[in-house]
Amino acid sequence: MQIPTPHIGATNKNQIAQTVLMPGDPLRAKHIAENYLDNPVLFNQIRNVFGYTGNYKGKPISVMASGMGMASIGIYSYELFAFYGVENIIRIGSCGAYTKDIALFDVLLCEDVYSESSYALAQSGNTRNVLKASAQLNKIITQATQEKSMPLQVGRVHSSDVFYRKNAADYEQIRDQYHCVAVEMEAFALFANADLLNKNAATILTVSDHLVLHQAISAQDRQINTKAMIELALEAGIRM
Ligand code: HPA
């Protein structure tokens, strides 16, 4: 595939760093670039999926949105890995808690993800329904939290294809059968791409809602409380 790709406008591989942080929301990508990076340069705005490269503590790093769901992150992460030479992607997102052991605002590192998604099978005949995060990235992320004395939950996450289930309580069966502590909607496709292309991928999540306790954080709290997660991802990203 030639660059630019159908979905990323960067015309030169050098415009994108080896490590990319991926929030779901394009405005979150813009916010991170403008508030945390030195000299951020916009490399993509196709479909308003903003991508920037700048420096964090003197080291180059990129941030680009993934959009929502596996189809979307599947496209963007594949193009970054396969056509732009990106080596590491750290997804930073939100999740819903499946257990009382996890609370609103907790930061959760995905050890592995279970999914009912057909993404990996359709893409490459990969029949596994549990995919692991990069051990190397997870180690660096864990070390960075220890240095900051920052609490970190670690566990298996359900990467779901569906946000609105007909029977909302169906999540209980998935949680109990596959031992998932929370739910999000992108990590499985990201990990499948990394697995296929021999790249590194990790996912860090902030708990934004609670399926057992029926709680949710406000949009404003979401903004403030993702600061710890963003700084952790940046810190880990520049160590790769
Ligand atoms: N379901 C799926 N994805 C999510 C949720 C949820 O409740 N919260 C944040 N991402």
Answer left, alpha or beta for residue 49, where phi above 0 means left and psi between -120 and 50 means alpha.
beta
Is residue 223 pLDDT above 80, yes or no? no
The pLDDT value recorded for residue 8 is 98
pLDDT score recorded for residue 220: 80
What is the band of 219 on the pLDDT scale with cuts at 50, 70, 90?
confident
Is 209 annotated as catalytic?
yes
The string of pLDDT tens digits covering residues 36-79 is 999 999 999 999 999 999 999 999 999 999 999 999 999 999 99
DSSP 133: P
Looking at ligand 1, which residue's alpha carbon is closest to its atom 6?
96
* Confidence tier at 225 by pLDDT (50, 70, 90): confident
* Whole-number pLDDT of residue 73: 98
Contact 32, 63 (CB under 8 A): yes
- What is the C-alpha to C-alpha distance for residues 225 and 217, in angstroms, rounded to an integer? 10
Q: What per-residue confidence (pLDDT) applies to 221?
A: 80
DSSP state of 134: P
203 residue type, one letter: T
Q: Which residues contact 112 (CB under 8 A, 6 or more apart)?
A: 130, 131, 132, 133, 156, 157, 191
Q: What is the pLDDT of residues 104-157, one digit of tens each?
A: 999 999 999 999 999 999 999 999 999 999 999 999 999 999 999 999 999 999
Distance of CA 226 to the CA centre of its chain: 13
Which atom of ligand 1 has the smallest separation from the CA of 95? 9
For residue 182, what are the β-bridge partners? 97, 157
Residue from 70, 98, 185, 221 to probe ligand 1 pocket by mutation (most atoms less than 8 Å from CB): 185
Q: pTM of whole model > 0.75?
A: yes
The ligand 1 site (C-beta within 6 Å) comprises 94-96, 160, 163, 183-185, 208-209
Q: Which of 25, 208, 212, 222 to mutate to test the pocket of ligand 1 (most atoms within 8 A of CB)?
A: 208
